[in-house]
Amino acid sequence: MASNDVRQWRTATLSSLVPPGKPIRVVHGNTELVLFREADGRCRALVDRCAHRRAALSGGRLTDQFAIECPYHGWRYNGATGACVAIPNLRADEKIPKNYRVQSFETLERDGFIQILMGTGDTSAEPNDVAVPILDRQWEGERYLAYPEVLFMDTLADSPSAILEISGLRIRDDHPIGDPVVTGDQISIEYAADRIRSASLHAEHVVEDFRYTVRISATKSAARITVIDNDTAEVRATALIVAVPTGARLTRALWRGAEAASSATSFTIECREHVEPTPVRAATNVVSRIWARTPPPVAAEQS
């Protein structure tokens, strides 16, 4: 029977964090995954739990045939199907039952990120757009924050300086440029920003014109950050930040950024080491309230 559920692509990690020849553990929500690459570099994803005694497959190794071998008893699994393909010491006449397997997931590697198709359903949604323009300088990074992922994007939209660190730039959370615009599941909001040095020079004065704008276009799982030079309307730097839920209390932030080398001033957009409490305390949370109250688009009635 057909299901109405739609499987979703979830951005799980950066491509660079899955090296050849070594399995790694990634948690998405409450699902633990082991990711590894086959001979041709293709990334495979399995549930990180051996079907035998639930040991972590990510603690194991890759065999010459690019099966993953459990570190506890050596059961081996095929990366594409999750089927158990070898159990040590079995006799030649002993066959491994077909149901001896772990769940496998379809993967997609694109634009420096690895996405995994998760959930149930007969159809799957479109992959996430995680492209970052190729500019003169690129960077990427990851960081764990002891902060619930369900709050991450709301906090980013309400008080971006609590989460974002843009080198040399101070974001003025108290100075939004216009109202947020909600389109579908996405919100866009702009904030004024100034060089840190200029901000300290003018600390005693009311500043009415700012050199830079920080634009945030966010869904609940990813945000595109853009730094615009207001003098020239030029995009100076851009970055995509993905929030990966890691259990209920941790967020794993992944980012990739790029900037043009048009001047000596560099703006590296990254995630802070922790969520700064002061901007969160000062926030009025107007943006997230508008985001929450805006109903999602209504699907057209079927005739």
Question: Would you state the torsion angle of the CA atoms of residues 203, 206, 210, 213, taken in this order, to the nearest 10 degrees?
Answer: 90
DSSP type of residue 58: G
DSSP 220-275: SSEEEEEEEETTTTEEEEEEEEEEEEETTTEEEEEEEEEE--SSS----EEE-SS-
Site of tokens 């959370």:
173
CB of 197 or CB of 249, closer to other proteins: 249
d(CA 290, CA 72): 51
254 binds other proteins (CB under 8 A): no
143 binds other proteins (CB under 8 A): no
- As measured in angstroms, the least distance from the Cβ of 246 to other proteins is 14
8 Å CB contact between 115 and 9: yes
CB of 53 or CB of 202, closer to other proteins: 53
CB of 89 or CB of 303, closer to other proteins: 89
d(CA 156, CA 193): 15
Residues numbered 29-58 forming contacts with other proteins, rule: CB under 8 A: 49, 51-56
CB of 245 or CB of 257, closer to other proteins: 245
- As measured in angstroms, the least distance from the Cβ of 36 to other proteins is 17
120 binds other proteins (CB under 8 A): no
CB of 100 or CB of 139, closer to other proteins: 100
Beta bridge partners of 225: 216, 239
CB neighbour list of residue 111: distance below 8 Å, 6 or more residues apart: 130, 131, 132, 256
Tell which residue, 14, 13, 15, has the closest CA to residue 32.
13
- As measured in angstroms, the least distance from the Cβ of 93 to other proteins is 11
- As measured in angstroms, the least distance from the Cβ of 32 to other proteins is 8
59 binds other proteins (CB under 8 A): yes
74 binds other proteins (CB under 8 A): yes
Which of 38, 71, 272, 286 is in the footprint of other proteins by CB under 8 A? 71
CB of 73 or CB of 202, closer to other proteins: 73
The 3-state DSSP composition of the chain as helix, strand, coil percent (nearest 5) reads: 15, 40, 45
- As measured in angstroms, the least distance from the Cβ of 221 to other proteins is 25
Binding site for other proteins (CB under 8 A): 49, 51-56, 59, 70-74, 84, 87-90, 94, 97, 99-100
